[in-house]
Structure 1
Amino acid sequence: MASPSPQDQSRVQAGQPSAPATFTALISAFTSFLTVSLHTILYHRAIYPRATFLTSRAYNYPVAQSRHPAVCTWITDAVAAVEAELLRNRARSVALVVYSRDARPLERFVWDVSRFPHVEAAERELVMERLDDAGAATTTEGVAALGAVQVDMEEQFRAVLARLSTCDTRLKPLPEGCTFTMAIEIKEQAEPPLGHPQPWIPAQPSLQASKKRAGWEEEAGAEKRRKGEDVGGVKTTPIRAVEAGEMMFEMWIEEAKAKMDFTQGGSSA
């Protein structure tokens, strides 16, 4: 993602995210929160040894932050790719997918961003307006409005992080040797994110949303998997719905059948 300005960084460290008055600021605030969330998830799901994390603060809440340069660089690059798709209005949801050693999806941490406003590129820096009940345009420019949105957004981000910090008590444990990646679900009418270098590759069929959920797809070196069968999982744990001004998204966790098989002593991951 585009690196936050020094002012934005100081606000985040102090637990005071800037109120997103423009679409660019809205996406920047979300991706800053996404970065903190990714570090939190990797720590509490024990993807890496906990000794490789340090304690920091974000949104006036204690959080874990990886201190491994390669992990931090990967997260920064992944969030940058997500931010680019959000600015282009192409992403419907963002997910962190945890895989077993044999590359089967076990968990998905999903951020549903389908309620983000659709803003054309030429209008990203304009102050966003919303019509009130009388049809009059209202903006978030006022000091009182900005302060209210800022405090509310900080509180709701903090609430999400608190839920993520206890996810290991509500989820079944993961096997050793898990890996992870970032994924996005593209809106139906959006163009696929193609380009060079190519930041995104198609997910395996079992993680591709399918309306009809029909048709079998062949995976190299694995049994046939139905398209979309791992989307939604067999158990869903809601985290929180966030609504602070135009910052509106939902978050939940999906546990896949492969994980249930492992924890029940079935197929070993």
Structure 2
Amino acid sequence: MVFNRKKKVVPFRSAGELDAMAAAGAVVGRALVAVRAAAAVGVSTLELDDVAEQVIRDAGAVPSFKGYHGFPASICASVNERVVHGIPTPTEILADGDLISIDCGAILDGWHGDSAWTFSVGSSIDADRLLSEATKLSMEAGIAAMLPDNRLTDISHAIETGTHAAAAEHGRAYGIVDGYGGHGIGREMHMDPFLANEGEPGRGPHLVVGSVLAIEPMLTLGTSQTKVLEDDWTVVTLDGSRAAHWEHTVAVTEDGPRILTLRPE
């Protein structure tokens, strides 16, 4: 006997709901641009947090991160060897050459946007610039795989392939951070499914028009292994190597992938 089984899919939204998510994502994009403009030598990470929160609240939105499972801030500010979930403080002062990853989320009319990027403060060294570029290229490879009828791990495999391609172009190896990755997103910030940043293709739920995922590779200049600091939030590389983190919230559409967290020029 043959049974008809319903195909498992990545959760999807209507066209109107995607527009609502894009409005939330635009708030996140503006906040990230404002934070980058403010990220200068001598500025504290808490000051950057204040900038982001002001932009978000001025837009009539609410910071997704603040209060999330007790997280105390509106952004994650992860400097140098910190990979993700760095807590902004008044005593952490940015220095010339620091590499900082800013992760930001906002809720507007009940919908979430989530995005991150990495950049240098003041002057930058080639290794940091290339690390950030490799992470961005890996994210873009994952975004390009957000197509109808693809499966979840097709994105994972694309991210991994993008990382290896960047490593070959740059003539060096990059660590793909183990155990962290992207996720579903919509009325909640973190939803199933979890999206790994490496793996074999052709597995997991199918993508359909309207499926939405936050795609967020994290690469390092060394190890793939991390530990969590005593604050129970900040994730750092085990070998002290620098890390980068890029993220966009992305939807599958009939016309190709749609980035919902666009940043103003």
* TM-based fold match above 0.5: no
Larger relative helix fraction: 1
TM-score, normalised by the number of residues in structure 2:
0.30
**Structure of greater Rg:** 1
